Amino acid sequence: MKNMVRFLLLALMLFSATASHAATIKVFVSEFSVTGAPNKDELKSTLQTLLASRLTNESVLSVDSPVGADVVVKGSYIVFGKVFSIDAVAKDQGGKVLARAFQQGESQNDLIPALGKLGQSLAGDIAAKVTPGAPEPTVTRPTVAPAPTDVVRPEPTTPDIIRAQDQTRTASGGWMSQRLSGTLSGIAPGRILSNDSREYFIVDANALRLYRKGDSLKLIAEVTFSPRERVIGIDSADLDGDGTPEAYLTMMDGETLASQVWVVANDTLKRVASKLPYYFRGIALDGKDYRIYAQQTSIGQDFYGDVYELVKKGDRFEIKSPIKLPRFGNLYNFNRFRDAAGASYPVVINEDGYIIVYSAAGEELWRSSDKFGGTDTYFKKDDTANVRTTGDPYRWIFLQQRITVTPAGDIIVPQNGGLFVVGNMRSYKKNSVFSFAWNGSTLDEKWHTKQSQSYLSDYFYDHDRKELVILEVVKKEGLIDKGASTVVVKKVE
């Protein structure tokens, strides 16, 4: 009798498990179509992910592939001024429409709640109308218990530098600083001291700090700025040749470009120029001498005119030697390299994140299939004249990541990934740095760094030391927490 009861209980459990499995409806959400919104490419996948997570419940399971899915959901996101409409249609594998739903909102703040309501509505309709496919028959096979072990070892870690052609060569001598308070946004090299230690200029939106590298980073000096002033970039160079690099801070005072220059004197920071009407960027054009370049702004254009070389004459700064920019180019997304024959090629990262290589005559020669760069550093300008079209009284200008060209002609660019975008707010979750070489037709990858689970806010490459110095934000700023950052040094050999 007891054996019979056990048998019935076991049969009931197996039936319940099978029924539960059979009751799960597999739904695949395809990439959204986006109309009238900025950052369309990023929003396509972001909205796809958000709706997929909000569809899943006890009856509906979101899957990553349409293969084997019971239902496929297609969505669209349309913006008209401030108002948006988000629509979705669910179809079975035969193309029959099972459910339609839409939500509207009057600002970007309504987007997340609208997606939640849309997901709930679709999930309810799908669960009411769809019978999931029959589960595959379960075949019971005898199992063999693995040999017991006291220690489960993880897989070997990936080297910091992954080379496309020579996987046996790896990076060595990596270094990481302690956790630094704040979401730091920029880094530039400072002095190299007699003991071969290195100093770094590091900024956030409201402060400039001087750190000295030893076993850890030691804070040597710090200056803070008024609430009206905002640091949006830092570069360094020894333009007067005195052996001490100056720090060039690109700054906004309200909506006015008002940059500053600082130097180190007796382990303190001293300002030598202010209210300069230039954006600054340190660039080694063609992989040659590293110099500071400048660009201006105007009432109608965020980046106006040519790029100029900045020169220091005593206490004064002037611009000279204008450089014409290619299409989509500005001071922050531009560089230039030469091939083995000496031909010059401008290169940019366009607004959507694609690398574009041009001929000297301005013809587009090649465009990457993957996106690179990616930044959350920005400044805003009044744009009330277009508010009826954009729905935003401000124009948001994001500053692209550096493109570095080495003396060998290699191109180094970072790639921030895991992008999440809502309106104009951006958040990145991981990064790698890539090196490419021009083969005459395309850019070939030479190496890339192991992916890091943090946002890369800035970096520079020291060719003489073969060091890649990266500033990472390891924790985003919150309502109470200031966030945290770290400096990582990778040897590229």
Does 84 share its domain with 179? no
Phi, psi at 317, each rounded to 5°: -125, 135
Question: So what's the pLDDT on residue 173?
Answer: 53
Tally of domains within the chain: 2
Residue range 437-451, pLDDT digits in tens: 999 999 999 999 999
Cβ–Cβ under 8 Å, residues 438 and 339 = yes
Does 378 share its domain with 290? yes
Question: So what's the pLDDT on residue 63?
Answer: 83
> Number of helices (H) and strands (E), helices first, in the chain?
4, 37
Spatial CA neighbour of 405 closest among 309, 288, 291? 288
Q: Which stretches of the chain drop beneath a pLDDT of 50?
A: 1-2, 4-5, 7-22, 134-140, 148-154, 166-172
User: What proportion of the chain, given as a percentage, has pLDDT over 70?
Assistant: 86
Does 279 share its domain with 427? yes
CATH (domain of 395)? 2.120.10
Indicate whether 145 belongs to any domain.
Answer: no
Taking the C-alpha atoms of residue 46 and residue 399, their distance in angstroms, rounded to an integer, is: 21
- The residue assigned the tokens 């899943």 is 56
Cβ–Cβ under 8 Å, residues 28 and 63 = yes
Structure tokens at 456: 């890369």
| Dihedral sign computed on CA atoms, order 320, 323, 328, 333 | negative
Spatial CA neighbour of 261 closest among 315, 319, 212? 315
Residue 99 makes CB contacts below 8 A (sequence gap 6+) with 89, 90, 121, 122, 125, 126, 129
- DSSP per-residue string spanning 53-89: HHH-SSSEEEES-STT-SEEEEEEEEEETTEEEEEEE
- Calculate ∠ Cα 127-129-133, nearest 5°: 75
Does 310 share its domain with 353? yes
- What range defines the domain where residue 399 resides? 161-491
Indicate whether 56 belongs to any domain.
Answer: yes
CATH (domain of 100)? 3.40.50.10070
Does 105 share its domain with 188? no
Indicate whether 54 belongs to any domain.
Answer: yes
Question: What is the chain's mean pLDDT, rounded?
Answer: 86
Question: So what's the pLDDT on residue 127?
Answer: 86
Structure tokens at 97: 């429409």
Cβ–Cβ under 8 Å, residues 239 and 312 = yes
Structure tokens at 70: 């019971």
